[in-house]
Chain A
Amino acid sequence: MKVTLTRRYSFSASHRLHSGQLSEAENQRLYGKCNNPFGHGHNYEVEVTLAGAIHPATGMIANLAELDAFVQQHVLADFDHRYLNEEVPVFGKVVPTTENLCIEIYNRLKTFPGARLERVRIEETSKNSFEYSGNGQDQP
Chain B
Amino acid sequence: MVTITRKIEFSASHLYHNPAFSAEENRRIFGKCNNPHGHGHNYTLEVTIAGSPDPTTGMVIDLTELKELLEREVMQRMDHRFLNYEVAELKGMIPTCENLTVVIWNLLASKIRQGKLHRVRLYEARDLFADCFGPGSTQGAA
Residues on A lying within 8 angstroms of B by beta carbon are: 1-9, 49, 51, 54, 57-61, 63-65
B128 near A8 with CB under 8 A, answer yes
- What distance in Å separates the Cβ of B129 from its nearest Cβ neighbour in chain A? 5
Stretch in B38-46, B65-73, B95-103 touching the partner? B95-103
Q: B52 to chain A: which residues have CB within 8 Å?
A: none
For B127, the chain A residues whose CB sits under 8 A away are 7-9
Q: Is there an interface contact between A1 and B139, defined as CB atoms closer than 8 Å?
A: no
Which residues of the partner chain B approach A59 to less than 8 Å between Cβ atoms? Answer: 16, 93-96, 98-99
Query: Number of B residues contacting the other chain (C-beta, 8 Å)?
Result: 32
Q: What residues on B are CB-neighbors of A64 within 8 Å?
A: 128
A-B contact pairs, 12 of them (CB 8 A): A1-B105, A2-B133, A5-B128, A6-B130, A9-B127, A49-B131, A51-B142, A54-B96, A54-B98, A58-B29, A58-B94, A59-B99
Please tell me if the beta carbons of B98 and A2 are within 8 angstroms of each other in the complex.
Answer: no
Q: What residue of chain B has the Cβ atom nearest to residue A9's Cβ?
A: B127
Let me know if B133 and A60 touch, CB within 8 A: no
